[in-house]
Amino acid sequence: MRLPPLAERPGDIPHLVDYFRRIICHQYAVTVEIETDAMKALSQHDWKLNNVRELRNALVSLVASCVDTHHATVTEKAVQEHFSATQAPPTSTQVPENGGPEILPARKDLT
């Protein structure tokens, strides 16, 4: 049995979000609301490389970042910030002029 990837079934996203929302509410003893615009942002996200597990992980992360005393409201801004943070290239990688890996000096307090 082949289950198409999430990108091929965007109509399932609101149902999955609601399903995971109820599970998260129960597991973490919080009330979670998903704003309409946040649901649209989740539905419109490019899920080509992602799957249902990653949708659930995104929701857990969103709830954790939005919770305020046992109540969380997931907003469109929170969804956008989550995806921009999780898809941003690493900032700690520095490529020296010669193109090879940069070797940082050892910390003196650790030697």
**What is the per-residue DSSP string for 19-33?**
HHHHHHHHHHT-EEE
Q: pLDDT for 57-88, tens place per residue?
A: 999 999 988 888 788 899 999 999 999 987 75
> Residue 8 — very low, low, confident or very high, per pLDDT cuts 50/70/90?
confident
Q: Is the pLDDT of residue 94 over 70?
A: no
Burial class (CB in 10 A: 0-12, 13-18, 19+), 48: exposed
Q: Is the pLDDT of residue 55 over 90?
A: yes
pTM equals 0.72
- Between residues 47 and 56, the one the model is more confident about: 56
What's the pLDDT score for residue 72? 87
CA atoms within a 13 Å half-sphere pointing along the CA-CB vector of 43: 14
Cβ atoms of 38 and 75 closer than 8 Å: yes
